[in-house]
Structure 1
Amino acid sequence: MNFIRLLHQNKSFILLLFFIYILFWLTISTCKQVTNVHEIHQSNRLNYRSNSTFYFILNYLFQLKINIILIDPHVLNDVFNYQLSFDKLEQQLITFAITNETVKILFESLLLQDINFSIKTSKTILHNGKTFINHIFIKYETKIVHLAVLHKYNSYYRIYRNHLQLSENIQLSYGDKIRAIDYFETELYEYLFHYPRNISHFLWLYKTSEFLYCNRTLADKMENKFHLYQNFTQLNMIIQSMRHIAHGLDKLEKHYWLAGGTLLGWYRHCGLIPFTNDADFGLYAEEYDESIRNYFLGNSITHIWAALGLVNDSLEFRLSSGNYVFDLFWAYRDGNHRWYGYQAQRSKFRRIIPLLDKLCSCDVFGYRFSIPCSPITYFNSEYGKDKWEMPLEKNYTSANMKYHSMWNDISWMYAVRLYTREGKLRSDELAISWVSKRFNYSYLSVPSFLNVLPNETVTLRPLKFELTNTSSIKNTSLQYKPRLTTRKRR
């Protein structure tokens, strides 16, 4: 009776507890239903193409939360440029990339799985005895997902050579050679993997991705025998500008290579020649367009201050960071070789170099740059066979610098253009002096049309400014005087 009386006295409180209990179980039931629906949706999303072996492997990696990036150039081209269906690709092997940090997570996850995958790895042994994994091959049925491991450097990833024996009919796009890839942004593809956001640019860079090492033996000799050490004060002032120039040319998809003493510094010193005072870049003349000049006019990091020569003859841009000069030389094809143009006073000189039909990549203090794939052939042509292996005396006359001809009066007016830091054509006393110094005439103002880089034969427009006739061209000695300033030998 007491219990019944107690219930009666507290029936409101008991009803409240009962209501809360019912509400609790309804909430639990609803959550379970939502979870089941989500799992069904997730399962459908992961398995809707389970008939594809590649998708089966990729689904497996996705569920392990392994982020992979499609870098296979053939598949990128087929799927995104030719719009082929990914699940109908006929390749036996597709290459993806994973970061070095992901490798450990992947293998820890694999230990917990019981799927019948065939997993093989390629390893590299370092000089200190340590090993690291460079490539992972996951095979299921007849298909292989190749995971190339990305090793990070300052501005790029390096993918090392694969040492695992593969079937003769498999040709790797990464792992066939050591390759370098600039950092790139990615997009997500069907929740399964990422791919480069700018695919066309990624494929363009792939053509120059083969990686070459500098000559460490020669670099040690430069330090131990000749006491030529890297000047890190110089390095900090020059390397960022060099990287900015290279990045700009890559962005414009203009092939370039480290040239002259800059290339020699990479190979012989594994850095920069300590006493160098500039950096040289070579470019293909047939790739020139105005986007290059426009990019560097008024550039806040390295701006163009002089354009020398003509588009179709001996074109050279001189850039400045405020502390160092950077030269862009266009190389013109002539039969089985190329040549750079160079002007000293009013004379035109030419330097013969190989065709350079293929470019590769190198590392200069952790940054990727493009270089000729046959640097020794380049050095023998530029400096003489094997002469480049020794540091040479200062104030030399290059054996590869040959006199070609003289600029005529009309062309000379176009062949020298100076610019302000803001990218405007200079018309001050210095600019006038540069042109009129070795001209048949001296004029009192710089005509605005000299801002043009003509592609065809130059014809002088009607002169609407004051000219003062002189008896002869001044200082036309054909003796080579490098750069109007003293230049140190390589």
Structure 2
Amino acid sequence: MCLWRRRKLRCFLFLLIASILSLIFQIWLIHNNAQFQGGSSFQGMMSKWLNTGNKDAQENLKLFMKHASQANLPLFLMDPSVLEAVRNVSRGSVDERRAPHHCRYLCSSQGVITLGLLGDSDVKLKPDLLQSLHDDGFQYVITEGHDPRLASVASMAAGKVPHHMLFRRHSFLIHIVVLYERPGKFLWHAAVEAEKTQKWMSLVENRELQFGEYEGAYDKMEIIPTKLDGVKLNIPKIPSAFLQQIPHARFLECNYGQARKFHTAYGSDQTAEGVEFVGKAKSLLSQGRAVLDRIGVRFWMSSGTCLGWFRQCGIIPHSKDVDFGIWIKDYKDTLIPAFQAAGLSLKHRFGKVEDSFELSFQSGDVKLDIFFFYEEDDIMWNGGTQARTGKKFKYIFPRFTLCWTEFLDMKVRVPCETLAYVQANYGANWYEPVKQWDWKNSPPNVQPNGQWPEEKWSEVIQLFDVR
């Protein structure tokens, strides 16, 4: 009898060890064979497997949304990890046999769900809503700040509106980002000044939030109702379009306080000529933006247009042109025909795509200069060409990234490192207005860059009659 029991035990242990080895082999096979991964990483697949029984996100979000629905809060899902899961399922890249239906989406949130709250109407949470949430175990903190729709108003600090809200139940967080529509017809959210809010820090507990490190700007989007893991939610109609904006959404507000000081010190050109030019320049900037957006080419405000935004939050009346910067890697052959089709005449074409490329278009008596930027080691540069002599010039900038801003009621890009960019181009005295400017000698970042061979002039120095 004892011998039989020993044999049964050995058999059981043998089968257990064999099962474990088989499981290890299957895990190794999935990890090392891309065809078994179904477009997702092994780690992500295992994470979903381990989260199969995790209903914390599901239950807490369902409870929160019940209260929010009763209060008619215009909330929508903007959580990147959950929206990515939604996009993957719509593409058919998630195997529904492997991903449990009851927590296919929300378990990917890792304990933090991000919702957007459209702040077009009164977004103050009513005391009875907060009390009912508190009664159901939610701790919360709400941060407030200036109303972005009044950003250019001198008394902007007087009015406070909600910026971010954080709700916590057990270890689960719901982060609400309040989005306001700006005059430029886009959505904006504030940064989180977490270091000023001890309660915020205590609720977050060093967990990473997806939004709030910087101010952000997003295109307006259509929101549609859906149900994820049994929870009724609103989501962007095209999740991929929203997800693509997230890495490039950083926003910079113009320094209106600095602009007011500038106008106090140096006055404001209100002559008929100056006012007329500003109106024409604004129209040309809007027209140029529309053309480049239509063909999918990124641009930013450069040179004097960038200086005008940074220094005085407006167009410099005596600048006489509008300046765009474009990465040479973003150039498309359709760019020139697109501008011409929009009614802008090509005034000159200097250099070539491989070196010192530059375009200028004319609209009435105002021109749009487009400078193409090249990347080289730790610098970026654009070129210039003197038509009379063929001499080449190089304008050097420290490396920079791009941010959104609002300028003349338009959503446009500027260098994020604006001060360094402006100082490179205009020197330490950039704050002082200068009406006499020689593009070949005045900029502190200009240097000679050789000369085009005379036999190449017909190719690299092209001037056009725009009368």
What is the TM-score when the length of structure 2 is the normalising length?
Answer: 0.69
Aligned partner of 1:158 among 157, 174, 188: 188
- Aligned partner of 1:224 in structure 2 is 264
- Aligned partner of 2:280 in structure 1 is 237
Q: Is the 8 A contact 2:393 2:450 kept in 1?
A: no
Identity in percent: 23
Distance (Å, rounded) in 2 between the aligned partners of 1:148 and 1:173: 10
Structure 1 counterpart SS, 2:319: coil
- Aligned partner of 1:272 in structure 2 is 315
Deviations 1:224-251, CA, capped at 9 Å, x for gaps: 2222347544333222431343354345
> Where do residues 51-450 of structure 1 align in structure 2 (5 Å cutoff)?
51-81=58-88, 85-104=104-123, 106-107=125-126, 110=129, 113=132, 116=136, 117-124=138-145, 128-155=157-184, 156-163=186-193, 164=197, 165-166=200-201, 167-190=204-227, 192-229=232-269, 231-250=274-293, 252-300=295-343, 302=344, 304-345=346-387, 346-384=389-427, 386-396=428-438, 397-399=441-443, 400-416=445-461, 430=465
Q: Give the direction of change, closer, same or farther, for the CA distance of 1:56–1:154 in structure 2 (3 Å limit).
A: same
Structure 2 counterpart SS, 1:413: helix
Quick one: which amino acid aligns to residue 209 of structure 1? A
Distance (Å, rounded) in 2 between the aligned partners of 1:339 and 1:287: 15
Q: Is the 8 A contact 2:120 2:180 kept in 1?
A: no
Q: Give the direction of change, closer, same or farther, for the CA distance of 1:67–1:322 in structure 2 (3 Å limit).
A: same
Deviations 1:320-369, CA, capped at 9 Å, x for gaps: 33342111111112222122111221424333332434211222133222
Q: What's the CA shift for 1:312?
A: 0.8
Q: Is the 8 A contact 1:283 1:331 kept in 2?
A: yes
Q: Give the direction of change, closer, same or farther, for the CA distance of 1:383–1:138 in structure 2 (3 Å limit).
A: same
- Aligned partner of 1:6 in structure 2 is none
Q: What's the CA shift for 1:409?
A: 4.6
Name the Cα RMSD after superposition.
3.3
Quick one: which amino acid aligns to residue 119 of structure 1? Y
Distance (Å, rounded) in 2 between the aligned partners of 1:168 and 1:252: 44
Quick one: which amino acid aligns to residue 105 of structure 2? F
Structure 1 counterpart SS, 2:248: coil
Q: Is the 8 A contact 1:49 1:87 kept in 2?
A: no
Distance (Å, rounded) in 2 between the aligned partners of 1:232 and 1:185: 38
Structure 1 counterpart SS, 2:341: coil
Q: What's the CA shift for 1:179?
A: 2.0
Quick one: which amino acid aligns to residue 133 of structure 1? P
Q: What's the CA shift for 1:70?
A: 2.6
Distance (Å, rounded) in 1 between the aligned partners of 2:206 and 2:307: 39
Q: Is the 8 A contact 1:204 1:253 kept in 2?
A: no
Q: What's the CA shift for 1:60?
A: 4.2
- Aligned partner of 1:456 in structure 2 is none
What is the TM-score when the length of structure 1 is the normalising length?
Answer: 0.66
Distance (Å, rounded) in 1 between the aligned partners of 2:71 and 2:353: 56
In structure 1, list runs of 5 or more residues that go unmatched: 1-47, 420-429, 435-490
Distance (Å, rounded) in 2 between the aligned partners of 1:153 and 1:280: 24
Deviates more, 1:127-136 or 1:338-347: 127-136
Q: Give the direction of change, closer, same or farther, for the CA distance of 1:254–1:131 in structure 2 (3 Å limit).
A: same
Quick one: which amino acid aligns to residue 142 of structure 1? S
Q: What's the CA shift for 1:127?
A: 5.4
Structure 2 counterpart SS, 1:274: coil
Q: Is the 8 A contact 2:139 2:169 kept in 1?
A: yes
Distance (Å, rounded) in 2 between the aligned partners of 1:73 and 1:251: 26
Q: What's the CA shift for 1:187?
A: 4.1
Q: Is the 8 A contact 2:281 2:315 kept in 1?
A: no
Distance (Å, rounded) in 2 between the aligned partners of 1:140 and 1:223: 50
- Aligned partner of 1:486 in structure 2 is none
Q: What's the CA shift for 1:65?
A: 3.5
> Where do residues 465-484 of structure 1 align in structure 2 (5 Å cutoff)?
none
Q: Give the direction of change, closer, same or farther, for the CA distance of 1:383–1:287 in structure 2 (3 Å limit).
A: same
- Aligned partner of 1:450 in structure 2 is none
In structure 2, list runs of 5 or more residues that go unmatched: 1-54, 95-103, 147-154
Q: Give the direction of change, closer, same or farther, for the CA distance of 1:252–1:58 in structure 2 (3 Å limit).
A: farther
Q: Size of the alignment, in residue pairs? A: 373
Distance (Å, rounded) in 2 between the aligned partners of 1:388 and 1:72: 41
Q: What's the CA shift for 1:309?
A: 2.2
Q: Give the direction of change, closer, same or farther, for the CA distance of 1:304–1:145 in structure 2 (3 Å limit).
A: farther
Q: What's the CA shift for 1:146?
A: 1.9
Based on CA coordinates, which of the two structures has the bigger radius of gyration?
A: 1
Distance (Å, rounded) in 2 between the aligned partners of 1:252 and 1:168: 44
Structure 2 counterpart SS, 1:261: helix
Quick one: which amino acid aligns to residue 327 of structure 1? D
Quick one: which amino acid aligns to residue 181 of structure 2? K
